[in-house]
Amino acid sequence: MLFKIIPSWTTGGIVKAADRTESVTYAIGDVVVPARELQRKGADIMWLNLGDPDKFDFDTPLHIKEAAVKAMSTYNGYADSEGLPALREAVASREKRKNGISVSKEDVFITNGTSEAIQMIYGALLNPGDEILVPGPTYPPYTSLARFFDAVPVPYVTVEKENWSPDIDDIRKRLSDKTRAILLINPNNPTGALYSRKCVEAIAGLAAEHGAVVISDEIYDTMTFEEQHYSPSRVEDVPVIVIDGMSKAYLSTGWRVGWTVFNDHNGILAEIKDACVKQLRLRISANSVMQEAAVAALNGSQDHIKNVAEKLKERRDFMYKRLNEIEGITTQKPMGAFYIFPKVDCEDDKRFVLDILENTHVLFVHGSGFGPYGKGHFRSIFLPPIETLEKAMNAVETFMTR
């Protein structure tokens, strides 16, 4: 008689997923599932959940598209694992123009979007039990991927009444002997906050005192309204890893071209850089064709950047005013990016977002999906034309009144 042995990694004959995947959530995508079900039934959904300019009346500049077509017609093989030398040089030059800092192409790595950059940096930096301080609320991959590597994301307070500015004293309290890095997302996703120079320098100073690395997500650095973005890379003697890319500034979200810049003149991050290179070789290379186009983007005309910021500012102003006119909703004014993070008078923000979707066909993202400090809020984009935004806000106001 044969006995069937059921391995411990199965449940009722079903192969179990690895434990590390249980912590992986992405609220921005999760809310799409019920929206698509409504759409399948014939509903016309107003998609205010996803930060993709190309889904609306923004488009990749023509000279960058033409560079992609030309690249595709000449070479379609692998690129260097670290990235095309010409693109790494272009990124280094951009850092000089934008932040006034001097780095070489050896300090720049090209990734498949910023998502791969986050995963690569975490894989190189974090051991099980290590802690990384993240803004509260925060972009979900920064917490999910930390847990994926058995590290601990520790949210620090950002003060809503102060336009979601980080609480420096709270950051200081949360530093421990397990802290490996402090994360800045500036301009911020999901709040649209833009951190002042004083704030950035204070956080960089805390990191330097504690021997921690600053990870600076600067993907929205050109999308600011009243003030300019200030990078911690400008602070001397602080090791900074910048995460940036093509998707937002150059309106090419689907191209998946990101990069990291190691601003580390004292060699403190040498081992981390080496660990990143090992991971880059393991996945062979980022998209070679789009890297060629990215060279044209960074070295070519930047005229579209000012136009994009002006268009977003107009839509920001509309959403800020309109949301504050709706009873039960209040919001701070975003100073960068294209997100707004209103507070709503409800007990369950996810239920609120799903009720809004069901009754108005307007799709937001629940604030608790961005961590505990997002509870009682929701995130909306203001990328669509004002006519679309007005239609959505009118529907929301009718729902709130009812």
Give the whole-number percent of the chain exceeding pLDDT 90.
90
Structure tokens at 69: 């077509």
Rounded Cα distance, 218 and 66, in Å: 26
Q: How much is the pLDDT for 201?
A: 98
The whole-number average pLDDT for the span 274-296 is 96
Residue labelled with tokens 């009144």: 401
In a domain, 64, yes or no: no
Mark whether 343 and 360 lie in a shared domain.
yes
In a domain, 238, yes or no: yes
What's the pLDDT at 5? Answer: 57
What is the C-alpha to C-alpha distance for residues 108 and 106, in angstroms, rounded to an integer?
6
Residue 67, domain member (yes or no): no
> Please, what is the average pLDDT of the chain?
95
- 324 with 182, same domain: the answer is no
* Domain total in the chain: 2
Same domain, 85 and 140: yes
Burial class (CB in 10 A: 0-12, 13-18, 19+), 226: exposed
CATH number of the domain within which 368 lies: 3.90.1150.10
- Tell me whether residue 4 is in a domain: no
Mean pLDDT of 320-338: 98
Tell me whether strands 179-185 and 213-217 are parallel, antiparallel or unpaired.
parallel
- 18 and 103 housed in the same domain: no
pLDDT value, residue 12: 63
pLDDT at res. 147: 96
Own/partner pairs, 18-22, CB within 8 angstroms, 24+ separation: 20/147, 20/148, 20/150, 21/148
* Both tokens assigned to 240: 């900074």
4 pLDDT more than 80: no
Whether residues 325 and 356 share a domain: the answer is yes
Taking 80 as the threshold, does the pLDDT of residue 10 lie above it?
no
SS (H, E, C) the chain: CCCCCCCCCEECCEECCCHHHHHCCCHHHHCHHHHHHHHHCCCCCEECCCCCHHHCCCCCCHHHHHHHHHHHCCCCCCCCCCCCHHHHHHHHHHHHHHHCCCCCHHHEEEECHHHHHHHHHHHHHCCCCCEEEEEECCCCHHHHHHHHCCCEEEEEEEEHHHCCEECHHHHHHHCCCCEEEEEEECCCCCCCCCCCHHHHHHHHHHHHHHCCEEEEECCCCCCECCCCCCCHHHCCCCCEEEEEECCCCCCCHHHCCEEEEEECCCCCCHHHHHHHHHHHHHCCCCCHHHHHHHHHHHHCCCHHHHHHHHHHHHHHHHHHHHHHCCCCEECCCCCECCEECCEECCCCHHHHHHHHHHHHCEECEEHHHHCHHHCCEEEEECCCCHHHHHHHHHHHHHHHHC
Q: Which of 245, 278, 299 is the last residue of a domain?
A: 299
pLDDT at 123 over 70: yes
Lowest mean pLDDT among 23-27, 86-90, 106-110, 193-197: 23-27
Q: Cα 305 to chain center, whole Å? A: 19
44 and 119, same domain (yes or no): no
- What's the pLDDT score for residue 151? 97
Average pLDDT over residues 274-291: 96
For residue 106, give every residue at least 6 positions away whose Cβ sits within 8 Å of its Cβ, in sequence order, or none: 88
The answer as to whether 185 is a domain residue is yes
Instruction: Specify the CATH number for the domain of residue 81.
Output: 3.40.640.10
**Is 136 exposed, middle or buried, given 0-12, 13-18 or 19+ CB atoms closer than 10 A?**
buried
Q: Is the domain of 258 the same as that of 379?
A: no
2 in a structural domain: no
Q: Round to whole Å and give the CA distance between 136 and 166.
A: 9
User: Do 206 and 291 belong together in one domain?
Assistant: yes
Tokens standing for residue 39: 């759409």
Q: Per-residue pLDDT tens for 35-76?
A: 999 999 999 999 999 999 999 999 999 999 999 999 999 989
Residue 131 is assigned to a structural domain of this protein: yes
145 and 233 assigned to the same domain: yes
For the stretch 136-188, pLDDT in tens is: 999 999 999 999 999 999 999 999 999 999 999 999 999 999 999 999 999 99
Q: Is residue 189 part of a domain?
A: yes
Is the confidence at residue 9, as pLDDT, over 80? no
pLDDT at 132: 98
Q: Please report how many Cα atoms fall inside a 13 Å half-sphere around the Cα of residue 399, on the Cβ side.
A: 20
Compute the average pLDDT of residues 96-121: 96
Residues 317 and 179 in one domain: no
Kind of pairing between the strands at 131-136 and 378-381 = unpaired
What is the pLDDT, as a whole number, of residue 149? 96
Q: Which range among 12-26, 171-185, 308-322, 328-342 shows the weakest confidence by mean pLDDT? A: 12-26
State how far the alpha carbon of 151 is from the alpha carbons of 28, 131, 175, 232, in Å: 23, 6, 15, 24
Does the structure show a pLDDT above 90 at 23?
Answer: no
Show which of 255, 281, 299 is a domain's final residue.
299
| Termini Cα distance of the chain | 68
> Which phi and psi (to 5°) does residue 39 adopt?
-65, -40
Backbone angles phi, psi at 121, to 5 degrees: -65, -45
Instruction: Please report where in the chains the tokens 């030309």 appear, as a residue.
Output: 70
The answer on 31 and 95 residing in a single domain is no
Range of the domain at 245: 76-299
User: Residue 25: its pLDDT value, please?
Assistant: 80
Q: Which residue has the tokens 């249980």?
A: 22
Q: What's the pLDDT band for 19 if we cut at 50, 70, 90?
A: confident
Distance of alpha carbon 392 from alpha carbon 360, whole angstroms: 8
